[in-house]
């Protein structure tokens, strides 16, 4: 393992970049591997490099980066037809476009997990790279809860399949629980289910339902870790409470 300096307390370069608001540690690893990060004037592309904050000069795209002192944490109710990315080649509205309209400073904000273009609901945003790492790394198994509106009732056998595991594109996808939460109706043509996940596979619920030949008309995330959507209106954003932030850190760091 390379050390830029061995005197004093060092940090892994990817963690330092995360603390500077450049994303999670995994995202920082991508930035390092593509050759955009310099330490003391030298390009760094290898993993595991350590730096000494306050002494080493770390640059990204030619600009020195320093840790963010004011950490912020938001819950956002993402509407449908808003894409979770910073830049979209197709010029669709991004979450950053939407937040700028609300006068939110998005310069160092990064999203926690993703929601696809046609999905809605709870999206967490923060400039705390360590928190992003702790709640998105697969080994931490953070609970996510979704409400899904589908076109027909699931059989008990299909529910067992969702929990037991469904193969899709070479992956076995599991739901932690599946619960019918539909309201009673005399002429029901669509059904609501609440699905809990501890995995974070891309488009996981849509892929599982596709394997069962079940159409989805609405998909909304209502909980991420300890944070719940509750009555937050679509398109609105709020600051997380200190209790919510502490609980998020606890559920990630303790696993």
Question: Is 173 in the same domain as 185?
Answer: yes
Residue 141, CA atoms < 13 Å, CB-side half-sphere:
7
Question: Is 132 in the same domain as 162?
Answer: no
Question: Is 115 in the same domain as 233?
Answer: yes
At residue 188, the pLDDT reads: 66
CA distances from 34 to 28, 39, 116, 136 (A): 10, 14, 26, 22
At residue 163, the pLDDT reads: 96
Tell me if 23 is assigned to some domain: yes
How many other C-beta atoms can be found within 10 angstroms of the C-beta atom of residue 97? 15
Distance spanning both ends of the chain, measured CA to CA = 26
Tell me if 40 is assigned to some domain: yes
Domain count within the chain: 3
Tell me if 51 is assigned to some domain: yes
Tell me if 4 is assigned to some domain: no
Give the strand pairing for 110-112 and 120-126.
antiparallel
Tell me if 82 is assigned to some domain: yes
How many other C-beta atoms can be found within 10 angstroms of the C-beta atom of residue 230? 11
Question: Is 219 in the same domain as 242?
Answer: no
At residue 52, the pLDDT reads: 85
At residue 68, the pLDDT reads: 72
Tell me if 1 is assigned to some domain: no
Question: Is 101 in the same domain as 161?
Answer: no
At residue 8, the pLDDT reads: 57
At residue 208, the pLDDT reads: 96
Identify the residue whose tokens are 């920082």: 28
Residues contacting residue 244 through CB under 8 Å, at least 6 positions apart: 73, 75, 226, 227
Domain at 56, CATH number: 3.10.290.10
Task: Please check whether residue 225 is in contact with residue 135, taking contact to mean a CB–CB distance below 8 angstroms.
Answer: yes
Per residue of the chain (255 residues), what is the pLDDT tens digit? 344 444 457 888 888 888 887 877 888 888 888 888 999 988 888 888 888 887 888 888 888 888 776 889 999 999 999 999 988 899 999 999 999 999 988 878 899 988 999 999 999 999 888 888 888 877 778 899 999 999 899 999 999 999 999 999 999 999 999 999 987 764 567 799 999 999 878 899 999 999 999 999 999 999 999 899 999 999 999 999 999 998 888 875 544
Question: Is 29 in the same domain as 153?
Answer: no
Domain at 218, CATH number: 3.30.2350.10
Question: Is 60 in the same domain as 182?
Answer: no
Active site residues: 116
Residue-range definition of the domain harbouring residue 34 = 11-64
Question: Is 149 in the same domain as 208?
Answer: yes
Domain at 77, CATH number: 3.30.70.580
* Prediction pTM value: 0.76
Tell me if 5 is assigned to some domain: no
Tell me if 3 is assigned to some domain: no
Question: Is 158 in the same domain as 198?
Answer: yes
CB burial string 25-43: b at 16+ within 10 A, e below? bebbbebbeeebbbbeeee
At residue 252, the pLDDT reads: 59
Question: Is 125 in the same domain as 193?
Answer: no
Cα 64-68-70 angle, rounded to 5 deg: 150
Cα 189-191-194 angle, rounded to 5 deg: 175
């Amino acid at each position: 393992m390379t050390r830029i300096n061995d005197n004093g307390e060092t940090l892994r370069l990817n963690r330092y970049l995360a603390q500077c608001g450049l994303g999670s540690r995994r995202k920082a690893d991508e930035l390092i591997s593509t050759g955009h990060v310099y330490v003391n004037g030298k390009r760094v592309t290898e993993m595991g490099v350590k730096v000494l904050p306050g002494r080493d000069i770390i640059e990204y795209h030619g600009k020195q980066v320093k840790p963010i002192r004011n950490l912020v944490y938001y819950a956002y109710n993402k509407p449908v037809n808003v894409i979770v990315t910073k830049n979209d080649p197709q010029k669709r509205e991004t979450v950053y476009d939407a937040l700028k309209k609300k006068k939110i400073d998005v310069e160092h904000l990064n999203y926690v997990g993703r929601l696809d273009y046609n999905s809605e609901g709870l999206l967490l945003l923060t400039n705390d790279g360590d928190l992003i790492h702790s709640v998105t790394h697969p080994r931490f198994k953070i609970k996510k809860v979704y409400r899904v509106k589908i076109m027909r009732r699931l059989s008990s056998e299909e529910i067992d399949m969702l929990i037991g595991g469904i193969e899709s594109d070479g992956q076995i996808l599991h739901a932690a629980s599946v619960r019918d939460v539909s309201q009673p109706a005399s002429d029901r043509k669509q059904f609501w289910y609440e699905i809990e996940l501890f995995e974070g596979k891309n488009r996981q619920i849509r892929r599982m339902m596709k394997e069962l030949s079940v159409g989805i008309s609405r998909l909304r995330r209502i909980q991420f870790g300890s944070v719940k959507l509750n009555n937050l209106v679509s398109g609105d954003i709020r600051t997380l409470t200190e209790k919510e932030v502490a609980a998020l850190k606890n559920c990630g760091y303790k696993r």
